[in-house]
A and B are shown apart, each in its own frame.
Chain A
Amino acid sequence: MLEMHFRRRFAALSLLGLIVFPAGAFAQQVNVYTTREPTLLNPVLEAFTKDTGIKVNSVFLKDGLLERVQAEGAASPADVMIMVDAARLISAAAAGATQPITTDMVSKTVPAALRDPANQWTALTVRSRIVYASRDRVAQNAITYEELADPKWKGRICIRSGQNDYNNSLFGAVVARSGEAATETWLRGFKANLARKAAGGDRDVAKDIQAGLCDIGVANTYYLGLMLNREPERKAWADAVKPLQTTFADGGTHANVSGAAIARNAPNKTQANALIAYMLGEKAQALYANGNFEYPVNASVAGSETVRLFGAIKADDVSLDAIARSRKAAANLVDKVGFDN
């Protein structure tokens, strides 16, 4: 009995060995640490392997990617770090966990505002954060972020937690543009307009607008694309809303990026550069950006039909760097005004 018990345990352990060491049949490989979900990333990585013969090993991490790479230090297998949110890329570079990307695809395809001046990271896709509005109950087709604090929207706005990354980034942009005091006033007005607790996700905005709980709400553009095209059970929510052209009063639309960097101790530097170059190429940009209805960074790639419906994005002129620096203040202000209470 006991012996069988051990035999079973041994079998479990050898199974673990099989899973953990899938001996590489590929001559070349590249290791990817990513905070981007596998479903979105894998099609691109698979295409890369098919086209180049370079095997991709990947692990999806969420919070703590940077801490893990730093802790792993010299022995880290990480080659490419793919992260959502410019602030994460910027802090990885600031922590010295990256090295310059050398492929010239970066300078050729990516606008200067969407990459690090020293090539420590580059954006791969762009997403903007806009206002969805009820088709039935809201007449206007454009709105400013400033207007979210206007009392005319009292009890009519839905949004997820103010501490969520996307909102933290948007509020950081407001701080970067107009300073902390003005942001605090704006946040108080905004908070007073909320129809419900700041919670849930971005899709819930469309859902709650359909339900009549609120008339407008803040969400990323691509969720609309996903609900309209990929999620039949949520199409009705998306059909109930329209994307408003959303800008700062004297600026553009708040946008953030997903991007990539090469780890400082990358063992496969050449392949890492090859992967990033591939991801900026037209094929991957079409796959990657349109798989999730984001804006491609490569201007020669047209967005999907749905993305084009959102209209060309007039990116705001506040730099990603300035936004990243303001996020701490934004997080503090959210708690100060009790935005999430």
Chain B
Amino acid sequence: MSKASSQNRSNPTALPARITSGLAGLWRNWPLLLACMLVLLPVAAVMVVAFSASDNSLWPDLLRYTLPNAAWNTLLLLAGVGLLTSIIGVGTAWVISQHDFPGRNLLDWMLVLPLALPTYITAYVYVEYLSFQGPFQTLLRATFGFRSLRDYWFPDVRSTAGAIFVMGLVLYPYVYLTTRALFAMQSACIIESARTLGANRKRQFWSVALPMARPALAAGLTLALLEALNDIGATSYLGVQTLTLSIYTTWLSRGSLAGAAQIACVLMLLVAALISFETWARRQQRYTLSVRKPRIVSRTPLAGRAGWAALAVCALPVLLGFVLPAGWLLVDLVQRRATLFTFELAKQLAATLALASGGTALAMILGLGVMLCVRFGRESWLPSAKRVASLGYALPGTVLALGLVLPLALLDNAISSLWQSLTGRAAGLILIGSGAAVVLAYGVRFLSIAIGGYDSGLSRVSTRVDDAARALGASQREVSRTIHWPLARRAIAAGGLLVFIDCMKELPATLLLRPLNVETLATVVYGHASRGSFEDGAAAALLIVLAGLYPVYRMARAGDDPR
């Protein structure tokens, strides 16, 4: 390839050769193109709907009254969530990766647990906890002798600040996971050099570790911010009118799907900006490990008060983000003597696991294709195509689901009528009716997380190693099998587990695209929550958490061992 293209470059008149080599480039990278096509399918459908608008009379009002306020709220939310997840995520990652203290090994993986809870569940639970009737205010009144809310002031969770608090608690693990891996591994030599040069711990963190962690922080932060941006459940309950919510009100209350699609397109631009920012933050930063065996930075033992302080710092997010909300669900369940496990729930659990497995498999296979193309290809458009393949995560779930239902149903109808003309019998909806639509939605939505897993795994392997192996006569396949896979498999597995957990929690696409008679745990929880009695879904919510425990445990462990 490189030989042919360099000849072409030197001879611009050899157009046919350039075209054939371009086509060959496309052909060679078909897995990447397939992934891009799948991701662009819903995006294109949303754009078609947006441009089909016959009536644009909505826009003056939207621009004057709705969008400025929604944009401001969204910015505020993103800034707050970004700050909070960074502080918690980076802080705990630093403490965990650099120090030994009582409880460290347990907290190391427990810090990921808040991710196992759907955001809106945590939001509901906090509204309960911190309400007038909740335990905190009851205690407060008992202590100070207050009688009603007129006697004292207490912050209301139903506010932008409350939403930032809740989302920060649920989403910081994204930042924790990415930065911890980096602190633990890649900076080992440098941090230790800094230590020997006499930099104190503060200086090691601010001048050495943090700047180096910037790409990891950007990666984790992007995931967290996209989750916050696309959230519907928690923001609507807590009364934060975000841009994503304005898509809903435009679609449902103003009765304009086209107008909603137009706002969604604007939002996509915002996200594109966010992702470009991430790329910018990662600019000129290729941290690959040295060819020698990577190792874990030696951890400083913390004894006495410092040890307890480290324990407190790391236990607090787990306590607030996981123990309190999950505990509330459990206590509620016990109090009402509800059965945790019924046949119905077992069926729903099975459906959840099956769909999540399918979605994870699809995302990981697509991600593998993307990664191999980008790693081995030389075409200049590959990085941009990879970014396109990551766009699925950028769409609000319902917009993605709507964008998928249109083309998939079209395809289903084509298959159905083809089948009917061949056999004379109606086939029904194959894709939607079989659950394949949900699996496809998961694959598209979480492909970026899968790619992130491959990325962080392979970033440990310098391309110089590839080149050396190739020079020694190894084929691409051999390089992948004998070098990439052994070195990257843990990070890749961690990516896969994160995709799995996200699939289990996924709501909007599951809700809209699943077949008749299929409920997943997330849809059951939502079914109860949308009646305003989410405690009836406590058992299902706890099952999501339980089913996520093992993946979380494995995922957190995956970062520990460099082999």
Give chain A's interface residues, CB within 8 Å of chain B. 9, 12-13, 15-16, 19-22, 31, 37-40, 57-64, 67-68, 71-77, 87, 91, 160-161, 163-165, 168, 196-204, 207-208, 210-213, 223, 226, 231, 233, 236-237, 327-328, 330-332, 335-336, 338, 340-341
Chain B residues 511-532 with CB under 8 Å of chain A are: 511-519, 523, 526-528, 530-532
Q: In the complex, A78→B149 CA distance in Å?
A: 50
Q: Which residue of the partner chain, among B65, B412, B429, B531, contacts A37 with CB atoms under 8 Å?
A: B531
Verify A75–B412 contact, CB threshold 8 A.
yes
Please judge, given known A-B contacts A197-B156, A208-B132, whether A77 and B516 are in contact too, CB under 8 Å.
yes
Residue of B nearest to A327 (CB): B253
Please judge, given known A-B contacts A9-B361, A59-B515, A331-B254, whether A16 and B158 are in contact too, CB under 8 Å.
no
Verify B254–A22 contact, CB threshold 8 A.
no
Q: Which residue of the partner chain, among B245, B255, B526, contacts A327 with CB atoms under 8 Å?
A: B255
Complex interface bits, B419-457 against A, C-beta within 8 A gives 1, otherwise 0:
000000011110011110000000000000000000000
CB of A133 to closest CB in B, whole Å: 16
Complex interface bits, B148-161 against A, C-beta within 8 A gives 1, otherwise 0:
11100000101100
Cβ contacts under 8 Å, A212 to chain B: 132, 147-150
Verify A19–B512 contact, CB threshold 8 A.
no
CB of B245 to closest CB in A, whole Å: 7
Cβ contacts under 8 Å, B254 to chain A: 327-328, 331-332
Verify A211–B416 contact, CB threshold 8 A.
no
Q: Which residue of the partner chain, among A22, A72, A197, A332, contacts B158 with CB atoms under 8 Å?
A: A197
Verify B358–A12 contact, CB threshold 8 A.
yes
Verify A200–B127 contact, CB threshold 8 A.
yes
Verify B158–A200 contact, CB threshold 8 A.
yes
Cβ contacts under 8 Å, A74 to chain B: 413, 416-417
14 A-B contact pairs sorted by A residue (CB < 8 Å): A16-B351, A19-B435, A19-B518, A20-B433, A20-B515, A38-B527, A64-B401, A75-B429, A196-B158, A200-B237, A327-B254, A332-B254, A336-B61, A341-B241
Q: A22-B517, A73-B409, A168-B253 are in contact. List 5 more A-B contacts (CB 8 A).
A: A12-B357, A74-B417, A161-B241, A211-B149, A223-B532
Cβ contacts under 8 Å, B351 to chain A: 16, 19
Cβ contacts under 8 Å, B245 to chain A: 163
Cβ contacts under 8 Å, B354 to chain A: 12-13, 15-16, 19
Q: Which residue of the partner chain, among B149, B358, B416, contacts A213 with CB atoms under 8 Å?
A: B149
Q: In the complex, A310→B113 CA distance in Å?
A: 46
- Judged by a CB distance under 8 angstroms, whether B287 is at the interface is no
Q: In the complex, A67→B248 CA distance in Å?
A: 14
Please judge, given known A-B contacts A19-B354, A31-B516, A211-B148, whether A328 and B255 are in contact too, CB under 8 Å.
yes
Q: In the complex, A199→B240 CA distance in Å?
A: 8
Cβ contacts under 8 Å, A341 to chain B: 69, 241
Interface size on B, residues (CB 8 A): 82
Q: In the complex, A255→B86 CA distance in Å?
A: 47
Q: In the complex, A83→B433 CA distance in Å?
A: 21
Give chain B's interface residues, CB within 8 Å of chain A. 58, 61, 64-66, 69, 127, 131-133, 147-150, 156, 158-159, 236-239, 241, 245, 248-257, 335, 347, 350-351, 353-355, 357-358, 361, 398, 401-402, 405-406, 408-410, 412-413, 416-417, 426-429, 432-435, 511-519, 523, 526-528, 530-533, 535-536
Verify A39–B405 contact, CB threshold 8 A.
no
Verify A63–B241 contact, CB threshold 8 A.
no
Q: In the complex, A164→B127 CA distance in Å?
A: 18
Cβ contacts under 8 Å, A200 to chain B: 127, 158, 237, 239
Verify B239–A207 contact, CB threshold 8 A.
no
Residue of B nearest to A203 (CB): B532
Cβ contacts under 8 Å, A57 to chain B: 516-517
Cβ contacts under 8 Å, A20 to chain B: 433-435, 515, 518
Verify B353–A72 contact, CB threshold 8 A.
no
Q: In the complex, A233→B328 CA distance in Å?
A: 14
Residue of B nearest to A66 (CB): B257
Q: In the complex, A9→B354 CA distance in Å?
A: 9
CB of B47 to closest CB in A, whole Å: 16
Q: Which residue of the partner chain, among B65, B158, B249, B350, contacts A336 with CB atoms under 8 Å?
A: B65
Residue of A nearest to B132 (CB): A211
Verify B355–A16 contact, CB threshold 8 A.
yes
Cβ contacts under 8 Å, B416 to chain A: 74-75
Q: In the complex, A238→B330 CA distance in Å?
A: 25
Cβ contacts under 8 Å, B511 to chain A: 60-62, 64
Verify B429–A9 contact, CB threshold 8 A.
no
Q: Which 3 A-B pairs have the closest CB atoms?
A: A199-B239, A211-B132, A212-B148
